[in-house]
Amino acid sequence: MILLETIAEPVAATGMFTWAWTMIAVPAIVAGLLLLAGKLSDAWGHLVATAAVFWSFAIAVCLFAEQLLAPATERAVAAPAYTWFSVGEWTFQVGLLVDQLSILFAMLITGVGGLIHVYSIGYMSHDPRRRRFFAYLNLFIAAMLLLVLADNYLILFVGWEGVGLASYLLISFWQHKPSAAAAGTKAFVMNRVGDLGMLMAISTMLAMFGSSKFTEVNAGAASTEPMWATLIGLFLLLGACGKSAQVPLQAWLLDAMEGPTPVSALIHAATMVTAGVYLVVRSHALFEAAPTAQMAVIIVATVTLLAGAWIGTSQDDIKKVLAGSTMSQIGYMMLAAGIGPAGYAFAIFHLLTHGFFKANMFLGAGSVMHGMNDDVDMRHYGALSKVMKVTFLTFAMGYLAIIGFPFFSGYFSKDHIIEAAFADNTFIGVCALIGAGITAFYMTRLMLMTFFGEKRWQPGVHPHESPKVMTIPLIILAILSVGAGIVLNFWIQEWLAPAVGNHPHELSLVPTPVGWMTMAVVALGVVAAWLVFGRSSIPVTAPATNNPITLAGRNVLFGDQVNDFLFVSPTTALATGIDTTDARGIDRMVDGGAQAFGGLSTQMRRLQTGYARSYALTMVFGALVVGAVLILTQLG
């Protein structure tokens, strides 16, 4: 709590910072332009879109440079744009907060995003709808930047939904495939479940603090009633689970691999799915006021990191292995974020390095698929290291980084998290350690099945190296996968301290006992994978098995079945029931009333004979009755 006071108020934007909004506006406008211009922009759309992202990257780097030069207390800069709306006592500004945390994200998003744009020029060159693809990618970049640069939770939520939309559009980009369309819908709907958490969290913040600005929420967090602080924390966690594919909202991520591979690399590995981690770190003050919520974050994270790894071990689709791995790695980040001040910087550290090496590997997988006629089944690969040298070498860098090979980037970032986990709770630490071992196992399996062994290529497939426009981004990302760790290792804690209030640790390059242990477990995982998959040949079709562990992994831990049973079937049944109730229940009651009146009038219609004399008789009787009544009342 003492540290909270050291968080400096953001200073007003000057100079370069007044340009910050163009980071978001330029890609957004280009996206709109490409969508509206239609076929006119087919020829140059991808170039403009790529240029737009590099514009944002340039601005981000300039801002970062200015922050580096500024004194530590003046690094966070607020740049309000305009009042979105104000109602009652609440005012919602569209405002940007460029601080130490958000600028790192901005550079990751635009940097990796820019590389992936370049890669996509090659990857999507044969797609007739490439222009549209780039428009969606730019839309995503704009929304993601809005998410990380917003200065309040509501604008963050706007970006949050924006990336959800972009993710939906891109997952179901190949809409003619029913599976892709279904995957997009599923991703959006499951994210919406998470959004409920966000909506409730923001509503609670407004009820508690009368504002959703980060500064005001952070300032009030410590004096919130524990129950409400816990609730806000849990709501935010629900939101984070949806976006970051954490258990129990994990089922969409593997299906999301239906999207083009650059999308998987950018959205479903490097940036969007890590938004949940960003959210938790950004809301650190609230979580520190709610230990129960922190505990929930840790539990969810631990379960996910093991579940993701489990899935990774038994999938044959190269992208789905990587997706399982993404789940698992985000679990590590969430774990670090849940541990508290000791872990925030490591969460972000791992997030950045993971962004590099996982994007690298996804793009590498895309390159492999490009050479294999879009086949994703690893059982049809093998021996590709000889024909796709650049892809193999860059992929290998990513591989070494993710398993935590010494001095590669993952080595630093993941080991810190495992150490922090051990410091927090031994059980959690052991789980994180096991996760690291399984990571090594499934990544080694992936490497062996894809690049080594004998050829298991399908007939008519002639693997070839991808064009330069695709390999150059791979090389750059490979360099980052190798070097980012050691560069950031000694610097990131100090840098982030003012923004997230973490406690910097003394770090050294000499491994700690936990570090040695991790290395041992990782080595064990690699050896085990080699024993199983490296020595014997791999069947071209997945062998039938009754092993429950393999079956569960292949079926993605039965997430779909659980969701179907718990939510989809009841909803469908209710929807059908509503239809029936409306038609048979409510309407029948109304119709019954109408029929009663109808029957009555049918009876009364019989009085209408058409004979003038009978009408006359009725009149006479009527007159007599009226006369009688008059006389009787006169008498009375």
Partner 1 sequence: MMNPENYLILAALLFAIGSVGVLTRRNALVAFMCVELMLNACNLALVAGSHIHGALDGQVAAFFVMVVAAAEVVVGLAIIVMIYRTRRSTSVDDANLLKL
Partner 2 sequence: MTFPWLTFLGLLPLVGGVLLFLPMGRGAARTLGLVFSGVTLAVAIAVTALHVGGADLAVQVPWIRAFGAWWALDVDGMGLAMVLMTAVLTPIVLLAEWEPPAMRWSAQAFFALVLILEGLSLFVFMANDVLLFYLFFEATLIPTYFLIVGFGGVRRSYAAVKFLLFSLAGGLIMLASVVGVYVVGAAQGVPSYLVSDLAAVRFDGDLGRWLMLGFLIAFVVKAPMVPLHTWLPDAAEHSTPGTATLLVGVLDKIGTFGMIKLCLGLFPEASLWITPFMVWFAVISIIWGALGAIGSRNLMRLVAYTSVSHFGFMVLGIYAFTTASMTGSIFYMLNHGFSTAAMFLVVGFMAKRTGSYDIAAYGGVQKVAPVLAGVLLVSGLATLSLPGLAPFVSEFMVIAGTWTRYPVVTAVSIIGVVLAAVYILRMYQRTMTGPVTDETAARFTGRDLTGIEKAVMVPIIGVLLVLGFYPQPAVQLVEPTAKATLAYVGTTDPAPVVKGAK
- Tell me which residues touch partner 1 (CB under 8 A): 605, 608-613, 616-617, 620
* H-assigned helices in 452-511: 468-489, 492-500
What order do you get walking across the sheet with 90-98 strand by strand? 11-12, 77-87, 90-98
Q: Cβ closer to partner 1: 589 or 619?
A: 619
Rounded to whole angstroms, the Cα distance separating 122 from 469 reads 6
CB of 220 to partner 2, least distance (A): 4
CB of 579 to partner 1, least distance (A): 37
Region of 59-67, 273-281, 517-525, 566-574 interacting with partner 2 (CB under 8 A):
566-574
- The verdict on 209 binding partner 2 (CB under 8 A) reads yes
CB of 154 to partner 2, least distance (A): 7
Residue 589, Cβ neighbours under 10 Å: how many?
10
- Choosing from 73, 203, 458, 614, the residue that interacts with partner 2 (CB under 8 A) is 203
| Region of residue 83 (left: phi > 0; alpha: psi -120 to 50; beta: else) | beta
CA torsion angle for 420, 425, 430, 433 (degrees, to 10)?
-10
Q: Which helix H or strand E contains 341, and what residues bound it?
A: none
Which option in partner 2, partner 1, none does residue 587 bind, with CB closer than 5 to 8 A by kind?
Answer: partner 2
- The verdict on 223 binding partner 2 (CB under 8 A) reads yes
Rounded to whole angstroms, the Cα distance separating 304 from 307 reads 5
Paired residues of 85 in beta bridges: 92
- Which residues inside 590-619 make contact with partner 2, applying CB under 8 A? 590, 594
- The verdict on 423 binding partner 2 (CB under 8 A) reads no
Which option in partner 1, partner 2, none does residue 611 bind, with CB closer than 5 to 8 A by kind?
Answer: partner 1
Q: Is 44 helix (H, G, I), strand (E, B) or coil?
A: coil
- The verdict on 84 binding partner 2 (CB under 8 A) reads yes
**Phi, psi at 363, each rounded to 5°:** -65, -35
- The verdict on 211 binding partner 2 (CB under 8 A) reads yes
* H-assigned helices in 259-343: 261-265, 275-282, 284-288, 291-314, 318-339
- The verdict on 173 binding partner 2 (CB under 8 A) reads no
- Choosing from 70, 582, 615, 622, the residue that interacts with partner 2 (CB under 8 A) is 582
CB of 567 to partner 2, least distance (A): 9
Q: Identify the sign of the CA torsion 389, 391, 397, 402.
A: negative
- The verdict on 54 binding partner 2 (CB under 8 A) reads no
The answer to whether the CB of 480 falls within 8 A of the CB of 566 is no
Please state, in angstroms and as integers, the Cα–Cα distance from residue 587 to each residue in 560, 576, 602, following that order. Answer: 36, 16, 22
- The verdict on 33 binding partner 2 (CB under 8 A) reads no
- The verdict on 288 binding partner 2 (CB under 8 A) reads no
The answer to whether the CB of 301 falls within 8 A of the CB of 418 is no
Q: Identify the sign of the CA torsion 428, 434, 440, 446.
A: negative
Q: Cβ closer to partner 1: 536 or 609?
A: 609
- The verdict on 576 binding partner 2 (CB under 8 A) reads yes
What does the per-residue mask of binding to partner 2 show for 302-321, with x meaning CB under 8 A?
--------------------
Q: Which helix H or strand E contains 264, and what residues bound it?
A: helix 261-265
- Choosing from 192, 379, 456, 554, the residue that interacts with partner 2 (CB under 8 A) is 192
Q: Cβ closer to partner 2: 487 or 586?
A: 586
Give the β-pairing of 77-87 and 11-12. parallel
- Binding residues for partner 2 (CB under 8 A): 35, 82-90, 154, 157-158, 161-162, 165, 168, 172, 175-178, 180-182, 184-185, 188-189, 192-193, 195-196, 199-200, 202-204, 206-211, 216-217, 219-220, 223-225, 228, 571-572, 574-579, 582-583, 586-587, 590, 594
